[in-house]
């Protein structure tokens, strides 16, 4: 099926995350989005593969950290070099989206943008394509911010929740639900209460809008970020001035800075099956397990283990009698972690760096 969007449509991949929870494989110089967990293609390449049926490479922009810009160009050689926006420092997704919107507006003032991450795996690309086509149409005609809502599979505390209005909108906003409020990663009991409401969705983190709408909404809710991004862009091509100006941009996410405040935000319910790669535990839902519930990657040997993730890269991983844990080994580090503590790996790295192991960051 041909799902190519009109020439005013662009896609933006946000690929600047640190991926600390996938340490020791994910490092500051090569975070998880540049790693191949499911065969030869990396998470970044998977995101690219998802959107190329919608927008060709010359209309795909990637926002990344300057330290990873070379990796982006290496892994996505079809994306023009000018489309790789290299942040000198991380200032959150609000700044990244504002820069991408400005870059698109400079090419097409009537352009639209679909924003996706590079830290997820989508099992059914056709559902994403259908959602983006619908989201583009609504964003273009209704001048709205259009979120893509996932059907909740239970009270998962790792997702943000979107609560929509009881009745769908009419006219150019048909097939959408007006967003009433957001709830960021609530406890399981609170999430269970949200699921009892008629229009409750997991927040996929993906959305569409026109660049005109994005700038208008940021002007309302995050004018300091928008002004600072515009000032930084004006300093180019003086990269030293750009670095200094960009470091002064207030750090915030696009959700907290704009989407959660907007009265012009709508959600398109979708059938997208998306798994966010947050921690080693995430691999349980994507990779085949043995009869003991174990996931093995690389050179691994085990005896009487259950519900473990074991990853050997560069050396053998051997385990006996381990349960509900991740064991990850590469050339210079070994991680042993209870799966229910995988969110704390970032804190562990901080402690290691404090002790002088800066090379392990």
Q: Residue ranges per domain, the chain?
A: 9-276, 280-360
Q: Tell me, what's the pLDDT at 89?
A: 93
Using pLDDT thresholds of 50, 70 and 90, give the confidence band for residue 231: very high
Overall average pLDDT of the 6-26 stretch: 88
Pick the residue with more confidence: 180 or 252? 252
What is the widest separation between alpha-carbon atoms in the chain? 62
Contact in structure between 44 and 34 (CB atoms under 8 Å) = yes
pLDDT digits (tens, 9 = 90+) for 208-230: 999 999 999 999 999 999 999 99
Pick the residue with more confidence: 196 or 206? 206
Q: Tell me, what's the pLDDT at 49?
A: 95
Percent above pLDDT 90 for the chain: 53
Instruction: Name the pTM for this structure.
Output: 0.89
- pLDDT, averaged across the chain: 88
Q: Which residues contact 275 (CB under 8 A, 6 or more apart)?
A: 120, 121, 122, 123, 282, 285, 286
The structure tokens 């810009």 sit at: 69
Q: Tell me, what's the pLDDT at 238?
A: 95
pLDDT digits (tens, 9 = 90+) for 102-121: 999 999 999 999 999 998 88
Q: Considering the domain 9-276 in this protein, what is its CATH number?
A: 3.90.550.10
Overall average pLDDT of the 5-16 stretch: 94
Contact in structure between 311 and 327 (CB atoms under 8 Å) = yes
The structure tokens 């799966």 sit at: 339
pLDDT tops 70 at residue 335:
yes
77 CB burial (10 A radius; 0-12, 13-18, 19+): exposed
Q: Tell me, what's the pLDDT at 151?
A: 87
pLDDT digits (tens, 9 = 90+) for 119-139: 888 989 999 999 999 999 888
Two structure tokens written together for 20:
């600390």
- Please tell me the distance from the alpha carbon of residue 326 to that of residue 138, in angstroms, as a whole number: 43
Contact in structure between 271 and 127 (CB atoms under 8 Å) = yes
pLDDT tops 80 at residue 350:
no
Q: Tell me, what's the pLDDT at 55?
A: 96
């Amino acid at each position: 099926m041909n799902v190519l969007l009109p020439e005013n449509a662009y896609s933006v991949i946000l690929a600047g995350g640190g991926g600390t929870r996938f340490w020791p494989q994910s490092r500051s110089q090569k975070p998880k989005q540049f790693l191949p967990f499911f065969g030869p293609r990396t998470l970044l390449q998977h995101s690219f593969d998802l959107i190329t049926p919608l927008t060709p490479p010359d209309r795909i922009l990637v926002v990344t950290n300057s330290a990873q810009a070379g990796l982006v160009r290496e892994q996505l050689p079809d994306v023009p070099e000018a489309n790789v926006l290299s942040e000198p420092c991380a200032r959150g997704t609000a700044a990244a989206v504002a820069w991408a919107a400005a870059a698109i507006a400079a090419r097409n003032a009537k352009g639209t943008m679909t924003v996706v991450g590079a830290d997820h795996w989508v099992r059914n690309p056709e559902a994403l394509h259908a959602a983006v086509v619908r989201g583009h149409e609504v964003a273009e005609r209704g001048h709205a911010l259009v979120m893509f809502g996932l059907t909740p599979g239970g009270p998962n505390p790792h997702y943000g929740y979107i609560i929509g209005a009881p009745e769908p909108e009419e006219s150019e906003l048909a097939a959408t639900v007006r967003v009433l409020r957001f709830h960021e990663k609530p406890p399981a009991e609170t999430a269970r209460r949200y699921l009892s409401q008629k229009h409750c969705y997991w927040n996929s983190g993906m959305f569409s809008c026109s660049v005109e709408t994005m700038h208008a909404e940021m002007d309302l809710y995050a004018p300091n970020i928008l002004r600072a991004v515009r000032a930084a862009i004006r300093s180019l091509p003086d990269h030293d001035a750009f670095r200094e100006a960009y470091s002064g941009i207030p750090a915030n996410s696009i959700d907290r800075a704009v989407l959660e405040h907007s009265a012009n935000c709508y959600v398109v319910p979708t059938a997208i099956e998306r798994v966010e790669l947050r921690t080693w535990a995430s691999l349980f839902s994507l990779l085949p397990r043995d009869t003991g519930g174990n996931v093995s990657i690389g050179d691994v040997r085990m005896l009487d283990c259950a519900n473990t993730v074991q990853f050997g890269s560069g050396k053998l991983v051997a385990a006996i009698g381990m349960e509900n844990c991740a064991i990850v080994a590469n050339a210079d580090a070994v991680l042993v972690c209870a799966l229910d503590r995988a969110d704390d790996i970032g804190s562990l790295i901080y402690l290691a760096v404090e002790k002088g192991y800066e090379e392990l960051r």
